[in-house]
Chains A and B, each alone.
Chain A
Amino acid sequence: MKHLLSIEDLGRGGIEEVLRLTDKFVEVSERAIPKVPALRGKTVVSLFYEDSTRTRLSFETAAKRLSADTMTFSVSSSSVNKGESLRDTVETIEAMGIDAVVVRHRSAGVPWRIAEWIDASVINGGDGWHQHPTQALLDCYTIRSRFAAARDPGGGPAFGGLRIAIVGDIKHSRVARSDVQAFAALGAEVVLVAPPTLLPPSLEGWPVTVAPDLDEVLGSLDVVYLLRLQRERMTEALIPSLREYRTRYGLTAGRVGRLRSDALVMHPGPMNRGVEIDAEVADDPRSVITAQVSNGVAVRMAVLFLLLGSGSEIVSTPLDRPVPVAVGDLA
């Protein structure tokens, strides 16, 4: 595998391979000296046209733990401000001799264009509303380590029978798009919970069901995955007020009490405490939000190692294309 652009590229086989390899890097991360020389001499560049805390730091930590060199490109202090185009910027960086680029951009599809332009590996660190594959992989790993490992000693993902609700701003969320594909590929049942204005215009082809009411599904869930209300992407009034959103869709202290005791609360971060998640819920024992972050480093080590180090081919199996679910009653 040369690039990691979307979950679809990986397929179920690819996701499982990344998760299995991640176990090895979790072990590396737990050592007193959490560093191996596997990618010595490789250079990984993070090219972030959008703000990021955890994805960028997580990739850079992962690269450093594999002994790769890292470069950080920050738009605000670069020649992009002098009008340099994306293509010129990328080709300039490549000319310095690099092995991989982690790219985040506000427009969907940018990583695919970059992959056409340069020879280095391209990793999608989030493009617009479209995809965020490493987030989905770390989410799968977090869920697997809490549920599936206990069920399947072989360490297979075995998400069959798990019921996962993704709650909130699905429309603007690349995390939701990648997560839906990944969770469904591994066999989980995915429920979307959101106000109709925050659902995509069409859910044709999405392997999901839709529940308009969070309280209705709360008791049956294994995982409740909260999304951040992306105020920076909201150009119109999609919700009446943050308070009303919290009342209907926020995971409040009252709601978390109705969750099963072994259910997981997840959030890709950054959190709006008091909007989609109450402050005390984020610190509930069922919350695995910080585990998601630490797993993120190991998952990204696995991805970098697969792209730059192992030379082994990921065997991709196509994702199942499930029957579209009617969403006519939403409008």
Chain B
Amino acid sequence: MAERERAATPPRGGVFVPRTTVMDAADLRRAVTRIAHEIVEHNHGLDRVALIGLQTGGVPLAYRLHEALLNIDGTDVRVGTLDVAFYRDDIGLRPVLPEEVTDISFDLTGLEVVLVDDVLFTGRTVRAALNALNDYGRPRAVQLAVMVDRGHRQLPIRPDFVGKNLPSRFDEQVDVSADGVVIGDVVPR
């Protein structure tokens, strides 16, 4: 979702043309459930776990994971949202959307923070998110959950929980929504 929005916004501009559906809604649901199980297993329970969804694509996923964790373990883990616009290294290249709010109403100090995003690509968003998290306390550990890892990393960052590894061309677009994961191209308007 977020990737498509960014690609469709000036100055780059363009229209997303879907090509292949890689995961459908049921695949996505199963992946969310599996990642939730992995989070419980990895952290030996959920007592100190908090989910932070990265605006915008990671936020709905974070809430879906929250729901899955509630079903599995009965624990109501804390959920926050984070907009990294002011922490990016490419400020000015993409617009800041006022709707993308940061809302972390709890101190992160001592927590196992799971960053949640839809697509892991260059790793720059996650780099910015790690910077931003510093301002909210000192987590005991930070983990990364993504629905799609599409490769092309430009920074030494790797995910702890992955929905699907999806090798892609650099100029392709990957769109994650509630309906599934679609790979496609952005063509100029």
* Chain A residues packing against B (C-beta within 8 Å): 20-21, 23-24, 27-28, 31-33, 35-38, 66, 155, 305, 309-312
User: Does residue B92 face the partner (Cβ distance < 8 Å to A)?
Assistant: yes
User: Does residue B130 face the partner (Cβ distance < 8 Å to A)?
Assistant: no
Closest chain-A Cβ to B128's Cβ sits at a distance in Å of 9
- Of B83, B96, B131, B136, which is within 8 A of A305 by CB? B96
Which residues in window 56-106 of B have CB below 8 A to A? 83, 85-87, 91-93, 95-96, 98, 101-103
User: Does residue B41 face the partner (Cβ distance < 8 Å to A)?
Assistant: no
CA distance A20 to B10 in the complex (A): 19
Choose among B101, B135, B136, B137 the residue with the greatest number of A CB atoms under 10 Å from its CB: B135
Closest chain-A Cβ to B92's Cβ sits at a distance in Å of 3
Cβ–Cβ contact A24 & B135, under 8 A: no
- Of B10, B87, B93, B101, which is within 8 A of A27 by CB? B101
CA distance A155 to B135 in the complex (A): 27
B101: A residues at CB distance < 8 A: 23-24, 27
A24: B residues at CB distance < 8 A: 83, 85, 96, 98, 101-102
Cβ–Cβ contact B86 & A38, under 8 A: yes
Cβ–Cβ contact A27 & B136, under 8 A: no
Main secondary structure of the interface of B (DSSP, over half): loop
CA distance A311 to B92 in the complex (A): 4
B91: A residues at CB distance < 8 A: 38, 309-311
Cβ–Cβ contact B86 & A37, under 8 A: yes
Cβ–Cβ contact A36 & B93, under 8 A: no
A37 with B92: in contact, given A24-B101, A27-B102 (CB under 8 Å)? no
Closest chain-B Cβ to A331's Cβ sits at a distance in Å of 46
B95: A residues at CB distance < 8 A: 310-312
Cβ–Cβ contact B92 & A310, under 8 A: yes
Cβ–Cβ contact A32 & B136, under 8 A: yes
Cβ–Cβ contact B98 & A20, under 8 A: yes
B103: A residues at CB distance < 8 A: 27
Cβ–Cβ contact A32 & B93, under 8 A: no
When C-beta atoms are compared, the residue in chain B nearest to A23 turns out to be B98
A33 with B135: in contact, given A310-B92, A311-B92 (CB under 8 Å)? yes
When C-beta atoms are compared, the residue in chain B nearest to A25 turns out to be B86
When C-beta atoms are compared, the residue in chain B nearest to A20 turns out to be B98
CA distance A312 to B6 in the complex (A): 13
Which residues in window 100-151 of B have CB below 8 A to A? 101-103, 131-132, 135-137
CA distance A33 to B133 in the complex (A): 11
